[in-house]
Structure 1
Amino acid sequence: MVAANAQNGEAQYFTKADLHPDDYRVLMASCCIPVIDQPCVIDGVPYFDGGLADPVPLEWAFAHGCDRVALILTKPIGQVSSDARDKHLAHLLQSHYPAAAEGLRRRVWRYNTAVQRAWELERQGLVCIIAPDSTEGMSTLTKNRAGLERMYAKGKQDAEALVRWMQNAKQDESVGT
């Protein structure tokens, strides 16, 4: 999991060693939406959603020993995001957390660049991308239960492709390719 340090804008990567029973701060920090939420504080450091610093942490995963990466996107492949909303929110964040505001201004560019890289790695068999065909009009903060349930069911169905990819990877390893 990744969170963005609100003070310096840098990515902070958390591993399972950072997770503790009944302490959900790492999870909270990794999805703490700037302006909407106050930063989540861990050991005196305020954090926001990791998307500000590293929205798709592929390079980190490969640099830390992963041979293959499963990438689960919340938007359809090819859907290019606009940064207009982020720029507005960055303006609101600027006075308290200027580095986080800069990360927010660059978030869409970082995301689109990382997804482009993921497509390249997918063609090489190193990444499996799971993405919805449609968001069905839903957004990050939706409360549409029926829509969420449809997206959940579709996600379970799409996960079958991930299982096949993982099985193929195991077969490739057993024959030495």
Structure 2
Amino acid sequence: MRKSKKVYSGLDSLPHGMASTEITPGCVALEGGALRGVYTSGVLDALMEAGINFQCTVGISAGALTGINYVSGQIGRSAATSLRYARDTRFMGPKAYRRNKCIVGFDYIYNEINKAYPLDKKRFFDPARRFVAVATNCRTGEPTYFDRDTCSDIFQAVKASSSIPYASKMTMIDGDPYLDGGCSVKVPYAWALEQGYEKVVVIRTLTADYRNRVTPRMYTDKVPLLMGLFYRKYPELLRKLMATEPRGNAEFEEMQRLHDEGRIFMICPSRDLGFDMVMRDMEKLGAIYYLGYEDGKAAIEPLRAYLAK
């Protein structure tokens, strides 16, 4: 069997540069999906190259982590970090868990990786643009929307947003325990609409026709053994986790309806990405980045038409 390379072979030829400072009215909502987030990186790089820099960015899990680089205007930074470090277990895996109690190595990302690819913090914290990370409050089972400009620590909020159930311990923020935002909401498009944004763009990491497989178990009150062992002290979280698949499908149907009506604009993978959330084949990950990049470029003209309405 061919051994996967540790670093993507096309790393040095990735798109790069800085986005313009022009701000586009509206909000972009970013779905999670662990390393499927490299697709989102490609779409966002295409948007930045086209001068489309939304006023608000709201992301869940990998969407929040990727969104940081969109707000900082750094074309290629998100892709470069994933395509260089995805096979490093300090970035994602057992070493990350030992150091962070989280499957994603946030101390490594925020410290060591930041030395190689410095985040433009001045631009990221520019109040002209809004950044929001979504995490699930384990006591209430409801999503919390952490605004960069009002929360105590936005980087801790992004960690909470990416704390995948079972593979991560809860992240504490201001005395409350949090897990991945995807436990309570799959894509934060509804929040963007409720905030009054007239233009809402959704970037998904699953194809438009994807629906979760739903089984009869999901309509019973019987808590699965593993779920109960981990989260029996958090009954509201358990209720949310038990309803994940049907609730997600309802969101997907609603998003499609709103897209068809012209209320929101969705950009989805033009083909199935064909891998699990933690795949480490760097060449396949690179191909998925470029799929997002090409899908993003193909969406520019219809997106401009949507924004002009």
TM-score (norm 2): 0.50
Indicate which of 200, 203, 210 corresponds to 1:72.
203
Q: How does 1:15-164 map to 2 (within 5 A)?
A: 15-18=147-150, 24-82=155-213, 89-132=226-269, 133-136=271-274, 138-164=275-301
Higher Rg of the two aligned structures: 2
Deviation at 1:95, TM superposition (A): 2.1
Deviations 1:121-173 (A, max 9, x none): 1112122212221122x11222222222111110111112443244213432x
Deviations 1:18-62 (A, max 9, x none): 4788x5211111121111100111111111111111212222111
Range moving further from structure 2, 53-62 or 30-39: 53-62
SS, match of residue 35 in structure 1: coil
Range moving further from structure 2, 30-39 or 87-96: 87-96
In structure 1, what is the Cα distance between the partners aligned to 2:156 and 2:180? Answer: 12
The answer to whether the 8 A contact 2:208-2:256 is kept is no
Cα RMSD (Å): 2.3
CA spacing shift, 1:7–1:120, aligned 2, 3 Å: same
Divergent runs of 4+, >6 A: none
Higher relative contact order, chain-length normalized (CA < 8 Å, sep 6+)? 2
Deviations 1:70-119 (A, max 9, x none): 112221121222357x9565334332433222211111112111111111
SS, match of residue 76 in structure 1: coil
Question: What corresponds to 1:3 in structure 2?
Answer: 135
The answer to whether the 8 A contact 1:58-1:114 is kept is no
CA spacing shift, 1:161–1:110, aligned 2, 3 Å: farther
In structure 2, what is the Cα distance between the partners aligned to 1:156 and 1:8? Answer: 38
Number of aligned residues: 169
In structure 1, what is the Cα distance between the partners aligned to 2:299 and 2:226? Answer: 35
Gaps of 5+ in 1: 173-177
TM-score (norm 1): 0.83
Question: What corresponds to 2:22 in structure 1?
Answer: none
In structure 2, what is the Cα distance between the partners aligned to 1:63 and 1:17? Answer: 19
SS, match of residue 243 in structure 2: helix
SS, match of residue 48 in structure 1: strand
Give the share of equivalent positions with the same residue, in percent: 25
